[in-house]
A = this chain, B = another copy of it.
Amino acid sequence: MRILRIETRSRAELVDVTARVREAVRASGVEDGLCVLYVPHTTAGICVNECADPDVARDILAALGRLVPDSGDYRHEEGNADAHVKAALVGSSLQLLVEKGMPKLGRWQGIFFCEFDGPRGGRELWLRVLQV
């Protein structure tokens, strides 16, 4: 298992980790298989989406913010209940196919670590590459 360490800079932020995931897959030496990504946090998630236009990431964050407002009728008292809900919606794990030593992504796809309760210095993305 490899750990990618991520520093986030805003309360809510989609961090493009595509290059780092690609590099970790290459470093694993696996030519053909599966790459499993896992977020070990409860107020962050992972998704794949368009990375060409940064407005897409902004729109995703804004839409999630409208669906699950920062403050509202929450019982959890740490002030980050919305972040837990967003993590549940976006999801904590993702798998990518690996071919010729590279994760196979669609033409416009990038991989985003989704911070919903930042900024935080100690975020992690766990990664494992399985040879098939």
Contact = CB atoms under 8 A, between A and B. Distances in A.
Contacts of A74: 55, 59, 62
A90 B88 contact: yes
A56 B42 contact: yes
Given A92-B47, A126-B104, A130-B34, A53 B67 contact: no
B92 A94 contact: yes
A82 B19 CA distance: 26
A76 to B, nearest CB: 4
23 contacts: A1-B97, A34-B36, A38-B95, A41-B106, A41-B108, A42-B48, A42-B49, A42-B50, A42-B56, A47-B88, A49-B84, A49-B88, A55-B76, A55-B81, A59-B74, A59-B76, A59-B84, A89-B89, A91-B91, A93-B95, A95-B95, A128-B132, A130-B132
